[in-house]
Structure formats: C-alpha cells, structure tokens
A and B are shown apart, each in its own frame.
Chain A
Amino acid sequence: MSLDDDTLLTRHLDGELDRAETEKLKARLAAEPALARRLEELKTASLPFRAAFDALAEQAPVERMTTRFEAAIASRIAPARRVFPWPAAAAAALGLLVVGGVLGRLTATQEEDTWRAAVADYMELYTAETFAESDASTLQKQLTALSDGLKLKLDPGALVIAGLAPRRAEILQYDGAPLGQIGYVDADRPIALCIIDDGEPDSGQSVAERDGLSLVFWAKGGRGYLAIGKAPAARLAAFAEAARAQLN
C-alpha cells in the first residue's frame, strides 16, 4: 500500500475529500480489495481521541492556573493602567492629530509617562476635602520643603493660579526623582499641579484625558509639569496655561 493511498484514505476518513474525489475513491475501493482492506485498517485508528483528551483536561490544575493568572492581572493592572489609553482616539478627539509628528510624539512619550500615570492613579481618589485649606504658616513650611526638594523657588503669591490659591503642598518622589504637588480646589473639584525634577527634556504642551481626569503637561528646564484634575478640559487648560506663564 503506498503512502499516497494512506493519505488519500486518511483524507477520506477525515471528511477532507471533495465530492469528485470521493466518487473516484469509491470506484477504486470497489475494484481494489487491498485498498478496501487498508481503509478498514486505518479506520481502526479513529480512536476516541477527544474523549481521552477531555479526561486529561479534567485533570488540568485549572483552579491554580486561574489563581495565578488573576494574581498576574492584579499585579499588572497598575502598570498597565499607567500607560495612557489615549494615543489615537483621545488625541483625535482633542484635535491634536494635525500632523503625523504629533502622534509620533505622543506615542513616544507613552513609555516615559509613568510618573504622570502614577499621579493620575492616586488623583482619582482625591476629593476637594483632600486639599483642605492649610493655615498660612503651614503652607509656607510645605512650600519651603517643596522648593528645597525641587530646587525651584516657589512662594505662595506666585502660586495663585487662574484665581485659585494653593491649599496644600507636599513633596513625594517617583523613581528617585523629587515630585512636588500643590493642591487647589476649583468649584469643589480637586486640581493638582505637579512638578518633577527628573531631568526630562523640554517639551511643549500635551493634553490627555483619562478616567474622568483631564491632564495638561509639559517640560521645561529639566522639570516635568503636570496639571491634573477632575475639572472640565477647558477649565484645566486655562489653569495650566496660567501656571505655565507664571512658573516658566
């Protein structure tokens, strides 16, 4: 029996012959007893494969694998969410897709955006009460700490932005770089102005939206700036514009 015939019979048993081929095979089977016998032999190899492997699948450690998988999702959600889901849709919505270069820049900055995404992550939890007003001397102390940390002169007067007075200031850090945050409240909504001293290259203003938060950010003099809040995009843009004019 030739290998070609085994292949032909296998295709027949697997339902992979077309009608003409089937007719032709039937004629040959009628005329060639050896071929018919070989067909019967190969038919005995039609074993209950599926049932056997289903029995095997029942022994799969599904629960343990699922737990591992879910743990992996949980530990990944934070970093995954740190990548802004903006490039095409959001940028287009914001009218930024004027030239290909803009998209290129947005995509390129995605990877470096971890500090902004980290801020956005916790910013989601903030309310106006988070930025309860500090008294003048406390605020002054906070701003002094911020100025020292960021090596940037900041005084309360210069931080009145778009008619909003700073409420609270704190120094955080991201990946070893000092990250200052100044809290504002606009129409009962928290807005934060963040400054990081991470030596990033200068960049013009970019806009993003994420989970109900508006973001405007830029970089100048080795520092990254971010205005972020639950305020409407236009309101936040005005705030950012004023901040940029006053600080840079």
Chain B
Amino acid sequence: MSVSEVRDGIPALMARLWRYALVLAGSRDHAEDLVQATCLRALERESQFTPGTRLDHWLFSIQRSIWLNQMRASRVRAGQGLVDAVEALSLDGAHEIETNIAARQVLAAVGRLPEAQRETVLLVYVEGYTYREAADALGIPIGTVMSRLAAARGALAKPAAPPPQT
C-alpha cells in the first residue's frame, strides 16, 4: 500500500530532509518547519505517490516546491532576508574531533557557494542524483546542471602551482 509506504518511510528520511531544508532555508528553525510542512503535505498527497519509486526524491521535490512557493517568499516579505548559508551549514557543539574539522571546512565552503550551485551540489554530490535526475528535480536543462557543477568545482578547487616557466 502506498499509504503505509509514505507514512512509514518518512521517519527514516527526516535527517536527510532536514539537511536539504537547511540548504534551502538557511536556518535551523525554518528548516524544521519546512520538514514538518513537507511531511504533512506528503501525507495529504500520499495517493499520488507511485509505490516502488523513490520516496526520498518525491519528498525532496515536495519540500523544494513548498520552500519556493510558500516559505521563501514569506520570509523575504517578513524582512528576514536569507540567512547566511555559511552560518546555517555549520556543526553544533564543541567536539573538534578531526572528522568534524574536515566536515566544517567542507560545509563552510559549500555555504559560500551561490544558492543555485549549493543546491545542485547537495543533490548530485551528497544525495547522489544523476545529472538527469537533478535537472528534473530543479526544473532546469541538464546543461545548466553541468555548468553549475563546473562553476562550483571551479570555486572549490585549490589553484594548482603555477606552470613551470619555459
């Protein structure tokens, strides 16, 4: 039954929904509200979910559309603007264990990317979307996915040592 597939599948996907929400909304409070709205919308529409297809991708697309169509505009209207993503994409707590240091650096670097690149990086490099899937999820041509990722890589790359003078 699709009904239980959606309802039962949601809790295991919450952490991933939240992290995507954080990339979209840029603050933990808004991320949590966005996840909640997404889960409720998914329940309302569970009859539209095709059993056996990717529940995670389906939920992500609901979340994205709620963010774009409802929350994003109201946040901007409320004068809150969009929070600095560098701040949002950071790890809590003081445990400066080594894995977290690396993670902090990566998150901060992704947080400095422009919004569109940041979301594309999340979908492709974190969530494992193919270019095609990302293009569909974002409603953009596949070429735009490629150029966003190329630009993100360009921004994240360490410049190589200058070529030897000849």
Contacts and interface: CB of A to CB of B under 8 A. Distances in A.
Contacts of B147: 3, 7
> Chain A interface mostly helix, strand, loop or mixed?
helix
A69 B109 contact: no
Contacts of A101: none
Interface residues of B, number: 51
A154 B26 CA distance: 64
Contact of B39 (A7, A55, A72, A80): A72
A31 interface: no
Contact of B153 (A10, A33, A50): A10
B106 A52 contact: yes
Contacts of A58: 15
Contacts of A10: 146, 149-150, 153
A8 B158 CA distance: 18
A80 B160 CA distance: 60
Contact of B152 (A16, A45, A69): A45
Nearest to B88: A56
B150 A7 contact: yes
Nearest to B46: A80
Interface in B89-124: 89, 91-93, 99-100, 102-107, 109-110, 121-122, 124
Interface stretch (A60-68, A171-179, A220-228): A60-68
Contacts of A73: 7, 43
Interface in A120-171: none
A76 interface: yes
Interface of A: 3, 6-7, 9-11, 13-14, 16, 33-34, 37, 40-45, 47-53, 55-62, 64-66, 68-69, 72-73, 76, 80
Given A62-B14, A69-B36, A73-B7, A52 B150 contact: no
Interface in B1-21: 7, 10-11, 14-16, 18-19
Nearest to A15: B130
Given A7-B147, A14-B131, A49-B125, A55 B91 contact: yes
Given A52-B107, A53-B122, A65-B32, A34 B39 contact: no
A183 B29 CA distance: 52
A59 B93 CA distance: 10
B106 A48 contact: yes
15 contacts: A41-B157, A44-B157, A45-B157, A48-B102, A49-B110, A49-B126, A51-B102, A52-B102, A53-B107, A57-B18, A57-B19, A62-B18, A64-B32, A65-B14, A69-B36
Contact of B150 (A6, A72, A80): A6
Contacts of A13: 153
A34 B154 CA distance: 15
B85 interface: no
A45 B156 contact: yes
Interface centre among A42, A47, A53, A64 (most CB of B within 10 A): A53
B163 interface: yes
A76 B43 contact: yes
Contacts of A33: 163
B98 to A, nearest CB: 11
B146 A50 contact: no
A11 B19 contact: no
